Structure 1
Amino acid sequence: MQYKNLGRSGLKVSQLSFGAWVTFGNQLDVKEAKSLLQCCRDSGVNFFDNAEVYANGRAEEIMGQAIRELGWKRSDIVVSTKIFWGGQGPNDKGLSRKHIVEGTKASLKRLDMDYVDVIYCHRPDISTPIEETVRAMNYVIDKGWAFYWGTSEWSAQQITEAWGIAERLDLVGPIVEQPEYNMLSRHKVESEYLPLYTNYGVGLTTWSPLASGVLTGKYSKGNIPPDSRFALENYKNLASRSLVDDVLKKVNGLKPIADELGVPMAQLAIAWCANNPNVSSVITGATKESQVRLKK
């Protein structure tokens, strides 16, 4: 496993990381999570990603309990979570100072940790001034609840504004952005964000390298394996949007390349993302140990 700096920071993250989205709390319990997380560590993974919204907070509870029971040394791993969707109340979501502070404290309680290494603004909040969000994220860092902060699916303009505010107020700016990035979704990473890498040293922790499994080649028109993500009730709409003729044609076009290289489609797709020099870590998901071993 190779380790890269998270953007221009001194934090080292494994080039491949593990994310709890979909799996923890929906497909896996604590016992299964423990074996999967240990398999990740055995493969050199040190970076584990979560969010307050994943399985309505249950994903954080499972990850925290699993790490505690595994007896890992906290300084050996990098843990991140994301704040935006924390509940149904008017102040339980968004990036107000109130929700950032309360949401962070609630996430730490679920994780049973004193701090996370990285905390993200899970989406932009057009109803909250960016200055309020920047100040609140710096408060979280000053309290020692997180070491770094970042964004997820923000526009280049919004990230630039956040950095302008941080520099004007002598505060810490967002060191990392977490966008979707794969062979089928490239514009933000390869075009829109280009000025951010040189101007602010923003790194990327990208998600969905397999386009929710589409780039594994396991899906075809009308064929959804029963143990796959698209078989879950909550993801049937995503399946109908993803498994269209144009997309499946592109995936089929990649199969000869993978065959020529002698690697599975999934390995080709993940390696392609990791090869981008602006990507600090590719966040992967898995439900089986065999999938983790494939990604070593």
Structure 2
Amino acid sequence: MMKRRDFIKTTAASMAGMSMAGISYSFTKNGIPYRTLGKTGLEVSLLSVGGAHIGKRSVTEKDSVKIIREAIDNGINFLDNAWHYSEGRSEELMGKALRDGYREKALLMTKHHGRDPKIAQEHLEASLKRLQTDYLDLWQFHEIESLDAVERIYSSGVLDYVQKKKEAGIIRHIGFTGHTRPDIHKAMLDKGFDWETVQMPINVLDHHYLSFSQEIIPILREKNIGIIAMKTAASGAIVNEGIASIEESLRFVMTLPVSTVVSGMDKIEYLRQNLEITRNFKPMTEDEIASLLSKTYSYAQGGKHEWYKDKV
């Protein structure tokens, strides 16, 4: 059996080798690097705005709009959201922020829980109305957390529904998300639909336990599917518990061949901090990766800081 030290060393070398392989850097905008979102061909900012945080009740409408617009003004063009965030408030606030010409500057993604055509239609119509737009750049099936959900998506006719909406230009691209287990992502991919993006939790703890980065990223790279990273700080646990800094957390994930990193930023100072980190981003070296993986190994065991994963 490979010792932990040797395993981490081997993993770090592999990560360092693939860090920039297969990543297309198209340009920078206001110092923010852009990467290609897989087979969609869209050019997306390495940092993107998380929709859940901007809709929190503790964030005023004025502050939410300011965060979104300042992000776009500073080179961020990819916006995350979901039908159910804060009971629709996140989408409503984002819709207001995208007035006055900002919609044309952004790639807009939202997510839904449609497991059949009827629910999908209800969610799509509600999202379009709240976001004040007549099309979505990316629409993702959200929170695929069981094999039963996979079966329903593939058997209910909902995939035919979204394909028709894509053909009509209401949805430009189609993807899915999940938090719980890599094998569920594999099932979604193995059943053969032409997914264009996948969003999943990727962070220094994930790398050690039920790892999306180790099990799913290689598949997505092979299929040229756009990789959207989320929960880079494990919903704050990594920073709050002193496991790693926000800069280490972001750099680690940005070093991987992801297209963009969704970050929850409910204060303008968090946005500005993340913008600075992204502008100054340099891929981690093999030694930096090995050191961080070694430091975080014990914290990852059992998934105690990744509450959103199924525990095995």
Q: TM-score range by the shorter chain?
A: 0.7 to 0.9
- 1:134 is aligned to 2:154: no
For residue 42 of structure 1, report the CA deviation from its aligned partner.
2.9
Which of 227, 247, 250 aligns to 1:204? It is: 227
Which amino acid is 2:228 matched to? Answer: T
User: What residue ranges of structure 1 are gaps of 5+ in the alignment?
Assistant: 85-93, 167-172, 220-247, 255-264
Which of 6, 15, 33 aligns to 2:64? It is: 33
* Per-residue CA distance 1:9-57 (angstroms, 9 max, x = gap): 2111100000121441422232111211122123211111100010011
The CA RMSD measured in Å over matched residues stands at: 1.8
Which amino acid is 1:80 matched to? Answer: M
- 1:190 is aligned to 2:221: no
TM-score, reference length from structure 2: 0.70
Matched positions, count: 232
Which amino acid is 2:220 matched to? Answer: L
2:216 and 2:78 mapped to 1: Cα distance? 26
Which of 160, 179, 182 aligns to 2:189? It is: 160
Helix, strand or coil for the counterpart of 1:98? helix
- 1:83 is aligned to 2:112: yes
Distance change in 2, residues 1:212/1:156 (3 Å): closer
For residue 6 of structure 1, report the CA deviation from its aligned partner.
0.8
Helix, strand or coil for the counterpart of 2:71? helix
For residue 143 of structure 1, report the CA deviation from its aligned partner.
2.4
Helix, strand or coil for the counterpart of 2:82? coil
Helix, strand or coil for the counterpart of 1:209? coil
What's the counterpart of residue 175 of structure 1?
196
Which amino acid is 2:105 matched to? Answer: D
User: What residue ranges of structure 2 are gaps of 5+ in the alignment?
Assistant: 1-31, 276-312
Helix, strand or coil for the counterpart of 1:56? helix
For residue 283 of structure 1, report the CA deviation from its aligned partner.
0.3
1:25–1:62 CA contact under 8 A, matched in 2: no
1:22–1:55 CA contact under 8 A, matched in 2: no
What's the counterpart of residue 93 of structure 2?
62
2:55–2:89 CA contact under 8 A, matched in 1: yes
Distance change in 2, residues 1:77/1:192 (3 Å): closer
